[in-house]
Structure 1
């Protein structure tokens, strides 16, 4: 689908990999540990965080991508001192220049021990006591405005603030998703828990802490982790049937898509418990149906999950994902209709993990 003019941040249309990092093959990443005169890191904290991220970040990406993206990670072995106190970086995440300046200082502090010619993306971790560095965020720099070291420019980086302790390796993968061009699926400017209304916990880009944070099939297709042959796509009115294999498994047809306008599509996928998800009563495995909109960028509802059970949240679950935890079609003959387009999706058969759907427009 085309991207509307004026959509300049991460979006759901085709990804321009001259701008965003291509999420395929081996990606070489370095984790830089930096501290400050007024927030000194300890060796115990460095070791603990290195052990935590050494395999988990790469394992999640490798599994979610069906082995098509491999994150090869290295770590600095000691804290490198930043040139300014942590308090001097207040507001670093609010502007591109402030963010870039913070990350460039981290790269400069680490240049003596890192050969940045062998790096594709950079992660910067600060101590827990550096409370000024609280927000984790991704930097996607235009050519000529990236981070410079060892005579090369590095345009893709993530700073990991104190929020990394809340969401662990899944936060790292969320921010890395932005480097790949994926948008935020929560809604900017809304209070909690309403900001998670569009997709609940059905994608890491929407709710990092959710029990079902595997990427949507649309995102896996957008990143090249699913092939075109694994997508059933309609652009004309009519009726079709498709048997969808579980999204978390390798191979098979993964999604049925109806392109209803040049900028909007209805997407159907089979969400069973995957290696990225956890077995939980707070989400009901089944057929997930959602609308994709390329007229808006991240934070403005580029994806909206259709809810089979509106105003009927899953009891005992966190409000930010309870309402959509039972949005799926789980039994034969259950159906959903997109009011805007009239596309109807009906679950017609269950066979092991596979689900057969009838899609009418």
Structure 2
């Protein structure tokens, strides 16, 4: 049902257009700006392919706590829970404008002892999908029938802090079968990095369960693609709210909140920051079969309250590029500036009086005026500005 709902909304969103000054409403064909899903891992296509956890309404999750023969717990399940809750669910409520309620059943009565030492699960060797599945299935076996998994859509496994071998927090996007026979569509295992990232690691990894890709790079400069402009990139970034593209992909934006440019011409629009409810959130410029440029406003409000720069964030999206290889690339208005708050791209937004030009698609975006946190832009697509 969730997949059908997203599909229907997307079909409406792509019919929304930005009006050229003085022009009539354009007749945009269906599919003009929603990039199609591809075979790329965690594709940025709209809508998200079926099988992901639902992104609307109440998502039911179960959280259990484990320790190991070689790493018995010296802490309490409640202390681990409190590092993730209620911060994670509250973050999703704010980012989704109240559309997503992440309900977490945290079983804090005791630690469940894993059958193997923590060193046997492969984290030090890079953690294969097979090793990850074995870890999750061992956790389910350890829990047994003491917990009901009926209706669980995401399964969380949190290890004692004493298990230093379980170093990082990956998501598992294949289904599992619980001891009570329930099918669990998606899972997340937490590691020692939860103590560095805090509750936002839950948002990043649950983002994968919802169908979102990694926006950091698996090789080279990890954060060269988006810096700190989306929690799916640099988790601790100063502007971590999800990109408007992701909010559209997750069906958190109404059809009239996305503008679409797919024909040669000159267009104007006013962007309202993604971190505040209501208003036009982005303009999407279709540049190819699987590619688009997106412009959105970012401000020091809501989840972006600590942003070290504001303005119009412009980025390229490619639905054929897999997770971890740059499916989203932010355009830097101040290249080689050194950035702010720890990364070159954190000061990337374009401000009043600045211009972005993409010679490949012959697209120019001018940021003309600002009113409060709203920004007016003029787009020339396939024509002179």
TM-score, with structure 1 as normaliser: 0.91
Q: How do 1:81-96 and structure 2 match up within 5 A?
A: 81-91=113-123, 94-96=127-129
Q: Which residue of 1 aligns with 2:8?
A: none
Q: Which residue of 2 aligns with 1:240?
A: 267
Equivalent in 211, 219, 224 of residue 246 of structure 2: 219
Equivalent in 68, 74, 78 of residue 47 of structure 1: 78
Is the 8 Å Cα contact of residues 76 and 113 (structure 1) preserved in structure 2? no
User: Per-residue CA shift, 1:290-343, capped at 9, x if unaligned?
Assistant: 11111211111111111111111236x32xx2x112211222x21111232121
User: Per-residue CA shift, 1:266-305, capped at 9, x if unaligned?
Assistant: 100010123212335xx31111111111121111111111
Q: Which residue of 2 aligns with 1:311?
A: 336
Q: Which residue of 2 aligns with 1:186?
A: 216
How far apart are the structure 2 equivalents of 1:197 and 1:260?
A: 22
Q: CA deviation at 1:31?
A: 1.2
Q: CA deviation at 1:121?
A: 0.8
How far apart are the structure 2 equivalents of 1:5 and 1:33?
A: 36
Q: How do 1:106-121 and structure 2 match up within 5 A?
A: 106-121=139-154
Q: CA deviation at 1:4?
A: 7.1
**CA distance 1:262–1:341, shift in 2 (3 Å):** same
Deviates more, 1:259-268 or 1:9-18: 9-18
Q: Which residue of 2 aligns with 1:344?
A: 364
Q: CA deviation at 1:75?
A: 1.0
How far apart are the structure 1 equivalents of 2:246 and 2:155?
A: 23
Is the 8 Å Cα contact of residues 100 and 147 (structure 1) preserved in structure 2? no
* Residue 186 (structure 2) pairs with residue 197 (structure 1): no
Q: CA deviation at 1:86?
A: 1.1
Q: How do 1:162-181 and structure 2 match up within 5 A?
A: 162-181=192-211
User: Per-residue CA shift, 1:108-136, capped at 9, x if unaligned?
Assistant: 21233311003211110111221221121
Q: Which residue of 2 aligns with 1:358?
A: 378
Q: How many residues were matched structurally?
A: 346
Q: Hey, which bits of structure 1, 4+ residues long, moved more than 4 A?
A: 2-6
User: Per-residue CA shift, 1:136-169, capped at 9, x if unaligned?
Assistant: 100111xxx5233311111200000111111011
Q: How do 1:21-100 and structure 2 match up within 5 A?
A: 21-42=53-74, 44-77=75-108, 78-91=110-123, 94-100=127-133
Q: CA deviation at 1:221?
A: 0.3
Is the 8 Å Cα contact of residues 313 and 325 (structure 1) preserved in structure 2? no
Is the 8 Å Cα contact of residues 298 and 304 (structure 2) preserved in structure 1? no
**CA distance 1:4–1:255, shift in 2 (3 Å):** closer
Q: CA deviation at 1:195?
A: 1.9
For structure 1, which runs of at least 5 residues remain unmatched after alignment? none
Partner SS for 1:94: coil
Is the 8 Å Cα contact of residues 37 and 48 (structure 2) preserved in structure 1? no
RMSD: 1.7
How far apart are the structure 1 equivalents of 2:39 and 2:61?
A: 32
* Residue 180 (structure 2) pairs with residue 159 (structure 1): no
**CA distance 1:5–1:355, shift in 2 (3 Å):** closer
How far apart are the structure 2 equivalents of 1:5 and 1:45?
A: 44
Q: CA deviation at 1:60?
A: 0.2
Q: CA deviation at 1:17?
A: 4.5
